[in-house]
Structure 1
Amino acid sequence: MKQAIYRTHGKADQVVELIDLDPRPLELGETRIKILRAPINPSDIIQIAGNYGSQPALPAQIGLEGVGEVMEVHGSGLDIGTRVIVPNPPGAWATEKTVPSAGLVPLPDADLDQLAMLIVNPATAYLLLTEFVDLVEGDWIIQSAATSAVGQLVTQLAKARGLKVASVVRRKSAIEALQAAGADAVFMDGPDLARQVAEGLDKAPVLAIDAVAGETFSRLTDCLQESGTIVLFGNLSGQNTCVPDQTVVFKDITMRGFWLTQWLQTTSPEDIGRVFGELTTLIATGQIHSPVERVYPIEDIHEALSHAMRGNRSGKVLLAPNGL
């Protein structure tokens, strides 16, 4: 079998290795999964760089999510050929993975690439919209990084619930595509963002979702209605957040953070199953969809990583560990 690992932190396309391993025999209660697709997420790149919220001991396997099919079972379990989500811990950038049989859930017949991206981005988008504010039809939300995979899913999920979406971008070339994708309003990030939003919307947003941090975080808080909430889940700018005291005090702004790993670790299996069940249905029925720019065989992992680390992509980069 082939497995991607990294022995030191650094740029992913430079430090990730593809090694050959002999599969070990299954123990009772284990299932071997043939991995069919595995996306390259920003969180994978950040973890390899050593900047993630938690770090495994090195050398470490990598690949936070993927989809595969059951190829071998020791004891009771799912039928051979059943499609399943590749469970944590990381290691989905491999041709196969051995996991506990307990907890594996069969997936419906749906687009393979979309199922591979079920865990990280759809769940993040879904929870950003449901965990922090009781939104009602007609409410405005505002988000940065609107062209990202999470941003596009936030728009799709929000529109399905009757919410209005204001998207904030950092390049003019993104405006037309976002409007076509369903954004109700698009604004250029900058010092006058709050003025643009106040003049462009019929009422102030109740929720702001930010993956940029730095000055963008501060500007988004200025766009919120009184007692509004802003949720930070990324740091694309590499800068610390900075919010004036007057904004927090006089507007009574609530600032929250979100990290999917923490949610997975602290949420009951029943609630996790409910969320992923809903998301699986949305994917299977085509109600949510993430664009894919290219799928690479795992042998081309370094080219795939270089591609994934480029800006201005139109979709995700995925690995096909067992062929396209």
Structure 2
Amino acid sequence: MRVVEATGDGLAAVGPADRPEPPAPGRGEVKLQMLAMSVNPADLLLLEGRYGVKPEPPFIPGAEGVARVLEIGEGVTDLAVGDLAIPLPGPAWVERMTLPRAAVVPIPPDADLDQAAMLKANPATALAMLKDIVGLQPGDWVAQNAANSAVGVNVIRLARALGLKTINVVRRPGPEERLYALGADAVLVHDGEGLPPAAPGRAKLAFDAVGGWGTEALAKLCDEGAVIANYGLLSGEPCRMDPSHLVFRDITLKGFWLTKWFREQPKEKVAETYAYLVERLKTGEIGAPVAARYPLERAAEAVAHAARDARDGKVLLITSAHPEA
């Protein structure tokens, strides 16, 4: 079976390899044929050895993807061969995997494969941050940087569905029209220098994917007592925020990591979250653009593309089983 292997020595230290075929499914298990897998910022951090976990090399990266059910084990009655599904555990940059049925989320047979391949991480991060950090009410404002990222786009769309308003910071002109079309209430262009432009509201909650002075810019958009949740390291710099925001305005800075969220939530909450996201996927209320697809054999090119600073959309890996392979 073909997989993608990495050493953790940098983005270029990745390539195709052969691994043993996963076993046939036992009782309560299913075997999946992977179709498409996303390349996320977290994957890039893992390849560089800068992620929250450091697997022993060589390791297989990949946090999410979409698959077709290849075989079902005894006792599995709610899935059939040929069904589409999302595997919750990784590593995902493989041709096939065998998992417990409980670790698989069924999705509609007509689901868009590109969007389904991105369902596990980015939409779930956006929804969990919107619902589980602060008790938000319809009409409340939420601010974020990296607003044209996959998480950012899903924050805009899910916030709109929840009756929330969003202030969206981007580093350069260009994506404003698209973000407004998705439901953004305000889009501010700010490169981290000086004060951010004025916003129409004050945020009760803010999402920081950048760190560095991006955190300070968000703090200036927040109301007193707000919470800033840092979930990314795009700048490669520590979060920076003037202490006056902490001392005099009672703003809280905390972290959010979806992997930790998974560990802490009851399985019923995880199932409820993905059931909600699957419904939003069916109606087209969530999703993000795709910049390119690469076969597993060209994983190094896919990683290099995903690491580009100016990139409009997600990069996907596809297996030979993908309809467009």
TM-score (norm 1): 0.92
Distance 1:247 1:280 in 2: 38
Determine if contact 2:290/2:314 at 8 Å carries over to the other structure.
Answer: yes
Structure 1 counterpart of 2:275: 277
Counterpart of 2:291 (choices 293, 297, 315) is 293
CA deviation vs aligned residue, 1:265-296 (integer Å, no higher than 9, x gap):
11110000000110011001111121112222
- How many residue pairs are counted as aligned between the two chains? 317
CA shift, 1:24, in A, is 4.6
CA shift, 1:250, in A, is 1.0
Determine if contact 1:209/1:230 at 8 Å carries over to the other structure.
Answer: yes
User: Are 2:215 and 1:217 equivalent residues in the alignment?
Assistant: yes
Mapping of residues 1-324 of structure 1, within 5 Å: 1-6=1-6, 8-12=7-11, 14-26=12-24, 28-29=26-27, 30-77=29-76, 78-88=79-89, 90-109=90-109, 110-189=111-190, 190-193=192-195, 196-197=197-198, 200-201=199-200, 203-321=201-319, 322-323=321-322, 324=324
Aligned-pair Cα RMSD in Å: 1.7
Three-state SS of the structure 1 residue aligned to 2:152 is helix
Distance 2:300 2:103 in 1: 32
Determine if contact 1:187/1:193 at 8 Å carries over to the other structure.
Answer: no
Distance 2:73 2:140 in 1: 51
Determine if contact 1:208/1:220 at 8 Å carries over to the other structure.
Answer: yes
Aligned partner letter, 2:211: A
Distance 1:256 1:75 in 2: 44
CA shift, 1:76, in A, is 2.4
- Larger helix proportion of the pair: 1
Aligned partner letter, 2:116: L
Distance 2:48 2:297 in 1: 21
CA shift, 1:27, in A, is 5.7
Aligned partner letter, 2:128: L
Distance 2:22 2:106 in 1: 24
Structure 2 gaps, min length 5 = none
Task: Using the TM superposition, name which of 145-154 and 213-222 deviates more.
Answer: 213-222
Aligned partner letter, 1:56: P
Determine if contact 2:88/2:105 at 8 Å carries over to the other structure.
Answer: no
Distance 1:233 1:124 in 2: 9
CA shift, 1:146, in A, is 0.5
Distance 2:60 2:73 in 1: 24
Determine if contact 2:25/2:98 at 8 Å carries over to the other structure.
Answer: no
Distance 1:244 1:24 in 2: 51
TM-score (norm 2): 0.92
Three-state SS of the structure 1 residue aligned to 2:80 is coil
Structure 1 gaps, min length 5 = none
CA deviation vs aligned residue, 1:106-143 (integer Å, no higher than 9, x gap):
22221111111111000001111111122222222111
